[in-house]
Structure 1
Amino acid sequence: MRERVALVTGAASGIGAAVVAELSRRGWVTAGLDLRPAAGADHAIGVDVADPAQVGAAVQRVERELGPIGAVVSAAGHYAMVPVADITRAQWRHMLHVHLGGLFNVCRAVVPGMTERGRGAIVAVTSELAIGGGDGDAHYAAAKGAIIGLVRSLAVELAPEGIRVNAVAPGPTDTPLLESSSPWRDPAYLATLPARRLVTPEEVAVTAAFLIEEGTFCCGEVISPNAGAVI
């Protein structure tokens, strides 16, 4: 790829920060979008990914100041376990707006430029819960599952334009999103996993980087670095 500018959402911590570090190590200039400062990115912009106007303005700024965006990793999100009967309308909307809306907003902003140049790579971070479901995770799993549908549809639509769209579906990952009391950190749960451990953000980042650089044959794929949580 001739463009070496990568846009990463959710870049301030967790998987997003690890993606920024991995792509930087590989020679990419990185722009980090997050509500909080993304200290590891070459260019950090405070953005609410659920707001299409903010995302559009950020993309224009990145391309004006850094150059054409060649790769995008959509990692912004949040997590909460709530029984389905207790999920409020506000919680439901927020989960969908951040995860699904965040991906849609960034794709809508970068696709015209990628189409004009005839190349680009987009990687969305979904979850193994989108594939296997989870107790108390209905709104999160629904939002992440919708991401898979969007990724596969965009892959079909954009592949003729030279744009590859794929996803990574991590299992429980050792990030600040998982509190110390989280059932996903319970040794009894970890013992059920073939790998007997959580996935690290760095492992997810390597997977995303592979889809951007080496995985030129991947289109509409969902790769699951999940310690065997879903096989």
Structure 2
Amino acid sequence: MKHPRVAVVTGAGSGIGARIVQELHTYGWRVAGIDRQPVVDDALALSLVADVADGEKVRQAVDHVHRALGPVEGLVTAAGHYAAAPVSTLTPEEWHRMLRVHLGGLFHTARAVLPSMIERGGGSVVAISSELALGGGDGEAHYAAAKGAVIGLVRSLAVELAPRNIRVNSVAPGPTDTPLLAADSPWRDPAYLATLPTRRLARPDEIAATARYLLQDATFCTGEVVSPNSGAVI
């Protein structure tokens, strides 16, 4: 009897991460969610609390997944942190916090799951980046830099791990219609939406479907950056 595949999703409690949990569950994965707060979701086989910026806490969480659910075949890093500020006012702590969550979060979770993937002979990692990593953003230098660093790590891991039958890809969404995007956000302004070829924001289910495709079906893809951004960056 074939056992369901096991996936870990960080940032599972809200936004894109929560929708990815639902998507993977629908496609038969057993999903373990990692978030800074407890997550109640029937789609989760296991809910764990950890800050992805803390490598030891992440290692402990992933060890728990291995004991409870078995070897991890898929990882999606969707945990995020966002703030806007001009470089001239950024504090060192704001700069480093952004890097610790995004780049550190990918590093810590990948390092925790990779031994199991290598032992079982394969696996797949999908890191959520951002279109701002590709095009930059006014007042968003630290966020764009952290997300750009994620893409650099994805591409390097893809080269390193391909001989181990482990694929590593990234999804770089544009502004997405989630509750995290405030009602008065400039990304919801009709004037901005009119500049998009699709004239609308991407939906969380569309981002989730992209992540699931790269994780599960795109066996010919590694080191790729797919950017579902309504045509904002082409």
Q: TM-score range by the shorter chain?
A: over 0.9
Structure 1: gaps of 5 or more residues: none
Q: Normalising by structure 1, report the TM-score.
A: 0.98
Determine the C-alpha separation between the residues in 1 that align with 2:144 and 2:232: 15
Determine the C-alpha separation between the residues in 1 that align with 2:164 and 2:110: 14
Q: Percent identity?
A: 63
Question: What stretches of structure 1 move > 3 A for 4+ residues in a row?
Answer: none
Contact 2:133 2:148 in 1 (8 A): yes
User: Equivalent of 1:222, from 216, 220, 225?
Assistant: 225
User: Equivalent of 1:143, from 143, 146, 155?
Assistant: 146
Counterpart code for 1:118: G
Deviates more, 1:120-129 or 1:196-205: 196-205
Counterpart code for 1:23: L
User: Equivalent of 2:179, from 167, 176, 179?
Assistant: 176
Determine the C-alpha separation between the residues in 1 that align with 2:86 and 2:190: 23
Q: Which residue of 2 aligns with 1:75?
A: 78
Determine the C-alpha separation between the residues in 2 that align with 1:206 and 1:2: 22
Counterpart code for 1:202: D
- Superposed, which structure 2 residues align to 1:13-162 within 5 Å? 13-40=14-41, 41-162=44-165
Aligned residues: 231
- CA shift for structure 1 position 2: 6.8
Aligned to 2:7, the other structure's residue is in SS state strand
- CA shift for structure 1 position 181: 1.9
Contact 1:122 1:164 in 2 (8 A): yes
Deviations 1:65-103 (A, max 9, x none): 011100000000011111111111111010000000000
Determine the C-alpha separation between the residues in 2 that align with 1:103 and 1:158: 15
Structural RMSD (CA) = 1.1
- CA shift for structure 1 position 38: 2.3
- CA shift for structure 1 position 60: 0.4
Q: Normalising by structure 2, report the TM-score.
A: 0.96
Determine the C-alpha separation between the residues in 1 that align with 2:93 and 2:187: 25
Aligned to 2:85, the other structure's residue is in SS state coil
- CA shift for structure 1 position 177: 2.4
Determine the C-alpha separation between the residues in 2 that align with 1:195 and 1:37: 36
Structure 2: gaps of 5 or more residues: none
